[in-house]
Amino acid sequence: MNNVIQLPGKEGMKWASALTRTDKGTPHANVHNAMVYLEHLPDLQGLMRLNEFTCTTLTTRSPPPLFRDGPTLPGPYPRMATEADYTAIQAYIQRLMGINFSFPGISQAINTMASSQGVHPVREWLSDLKWDGDCRLKHWLYTVFGCPLDRYHEAVGVKFMVAAVARIFQPGCKFDYVPVFKGPQGIGKSTALRVLFSDEWFKEDLHKDLGSKDAASGLVGAWGVELGELQSMMKSSIEDTKAFLSRQCDKYRPAYGRLEVVRERQCVFAGTTNSEGYLTDSTGNRRFWPVECVAADLPWLRTNREQLWAEAVTLFRAGETPLYLDEDDVRLVAEEKQADNMMVDAWEKPIEDWLQNRGTLIQDGLHIHEVMVSGLGMANTQIKRADQNRVGAILRKLGWSVKVKKQQGRSVRLWVKES
């Protein structure tokens, strides 16, 4: 019994004129021809597609077997493509068309064709949701976490959710705010965020150094990113933290990659902590929206999750929700909550006293090492970068800023009291 897969008839092979050929009429084993086969052979059409959210290639169904009744590769489908999928396609074309494409060549062709047929699972999921018309977003923080039912928490709850939707439909849109859920350990803050974004699209193990390539690449495939106990912020410089949270796209060269990639952000961040005084830099506090939590109603969240997102999609499409605290009274409450959660550093009081005692001697500015050596009694050999960041945060809180000034003919960075 001949069960070899048959070629389409002549009418179905008109596309073959697009193939490049040798002088003898044999199709070349080049990337162009591989792409022609992938585009037109019925068993290969739409087989491999780009997941635009995870930036990986998907196998949408089982690659065709060599024979009609032959074995197929295991699913379930769609799933992330494997080397076996690429090999199966390579072998299929070799058997069907008699063209021996190299593995690198067929891989290039598959990846290029997949990129032209992208899918986005989060966007598709959100688009399929139907809102029932009941308003839940304004009170979801109150209902889930037990925080006060006021205009501030209404605004934070709505804007965070709409921003998360916006980042999916408009990757890289401006949103550099982070709600910080503070409450007793074990009440379910992290679990609630995981339920909200789902296991598949939630990330909680972001690299601790926010200035690193690993932190940037770790955002790929994440929709909601938890800054657990704000550890990433604590282990990064203030400047790195500000830059990271404000970034709308990430540029880096992937491991084993030849070219730099640019990934527009599709995620939002949320902090969790059970600590008092978790904010360290008064100049960057506007980014953080404190949310006091007393519990986490996970059953309600699981039941209403889809409707929360459906409402957020509706508000996003209406285009009338600014992704920042646009009302003065709400912004004032945010500033008060941010001030209440400022960290009190043990070095702050001695530095403040030392600055007052120096008086006019430092009116033209001072070097941070001067503060550390004279103000804190540290030896030069003891000073570390983390200590400088810590002292810099205290100086900013006390109303000082960095200025570039001339000293003995060269430019130096000095801390100057703001007028």
Measured in degrees and rounded to the nearest 5, phi and psi for residue 291 equal: -130, 115
Which position has the token pair 């709600």?
A: 179
The predicted structure's pLDDT at residue 2: 43
The predicted structure's pLDDT at residue 344: 80
Which position has the token pair 């969790």?
A: 272
**What is the C-alpha separation between 190 and 169, in angstroms, rounded?**
25
Residue 192, exposed/middle/buried by CB under 10 A (0-12, 13-18, 19+)?
buried
* Three-state SS at 231: helix
If you average pLDDT over each of 67-76, 244-253, 279-288, which comes out highest?
A: 244-253
Taking residues 364-392, report their average pLDDT: 88
pTM over 0.75: yes
Fold exhibited by the domain 122-340: Rossmann fold (3.40.50)
**What is the C-alpha separation between 187 and 183, in angstroms, rounded?**
7
Contact 286, 242 (CB under 8 A): no
The predicted structure's pLDDT at residue 255: 75
Contact 223, 197 (CB under 8 A): yes
Q: Which amino acid type is present at position 136?
A: R
What's the pLDDT band for 1 if we cut at 50, 70, 90?
very low
The tokens for 95 are: 């058997």
* Residue 236 pLDDT exceeds 60: yes
Please give, one letter per residue, the 3-state secondary structure of 38-107. Answer: HHHCCCCCCCEEEECCCCEEEECCCCCCCECCCCCCCCCCCEECCHHHHHHHHHHHHHHHCCCCCHHHHH
What's the pLDDT band for 389 if we cut at 50, 70, 90?
confident
β-pairing, 268-273 vs 224-228, is parallel
* Residue 7 pLDDT exceeds 60: no
Contact 267, 122 (CB under 8 A): no
Q: Closest Cα partner for 181 from 247, 266, 278?
A: 278
In the 8-state DSSP scheme, what is residue 417? E
The CA-based diameter of the chain, rounded to the nearest angstrom, is 101
- Cα Rg, the chain, nearest whole Å: 29
Better-predicted residue by pLDDT, 395 or 305? 305
The predicted structure's pLDDT at residue 364: 81
**What is the C-alpha separation between 353 and 214, in angstroms, rounded?**
41
* Residue 282 pLDDT exceeds 90: no
The predicted structure's pLDDT at residue 309: 99
* Residue 238 pLDDT exceeds 50: yes
Residue-wise pLDDT tens digits, 51-62: 999 999 999 999
* Residue 118 pLDDT exceeds 70: yes
The tokens for 318 are: 């209406």
The predicted structure's pLDDT at residue 234: 60
Q: Which amino acid type is present at position 99?
A: I
What's the pLDDT band for 3 if we cut at 50, 70, 90?
very low
Better-predicted residue by pLDDT, 339 or 200? 200
Contact 180, 288 (CB under 8 A): yes
Least confident piece of the model among 147-156, 175-184, 308-317, 410-419: 410-419
Share of the chain above pLDDT 70, in %: 95
Q: Closest Cα partner for 109 from 84, 83, 89?
A: 89
The total number of residues written for the chain in this structure: 419
* Residue 4 pLDDT exceeds 60: no
Domain definitions of the chain by residue range:
10-119, 122-340, 348-417
Would you give the end-to-end CA distance of the chain in angstroms?
93
Q: How many helices (H) and strands (E) does the chain have?
A: 15, 12
The tokens for 239 are: 């400047």
* Residue 225 pLDDT exceeds 70: yes
Contact 157, 141 (CB under 8 A): yes
Residue-wise pLDDT tens digits, 50-92: 999 999 999 999 999 867 778 889 999 999 999 999 999 999 9
* DSSP of 339-372: HHTB---TTHHHHHHHHHHHGGGGTT-B-HHHII
Better-predicted residue by pLDDT, 4 or 283? 283
Least confident piece of the model among 183-187, 232-236, 412-416: 232-236
The predicted structure's pLDDT at residue 210: 86
Q: Residue 396: in which H helix or E strand, if any?
A: helix 385-397
In the 8-state DSSP scheme, what is residue 205? -
**What is the C-alpha separation between 133 and 281, in angstroms, rounded?**
41
What's the pLDDT band for 346 if we cut at 50, 70, 90?
confident
In the 8-state DSSP scheme, what is residue 185? T
CB atoms within 10 A of CB 85: 20
Residue-wise pLDDT tens digits, 196-222: 999 999 999 888 888 888 999 999 999
The predicted structure's pLDDT at residue 11: 52
Q: Closest Cα partner for 115 from 65, 36, 48?
A: 48
The predicted structure's pLDDT at residue 359: 80
The predicted structure's pLDDT at residue 233: 65
Contact 33, 20 (CB under 8 A): yes
Taking residues 394-414, report their average pLDDT: 84
The tokens for 25 are: 């009429």
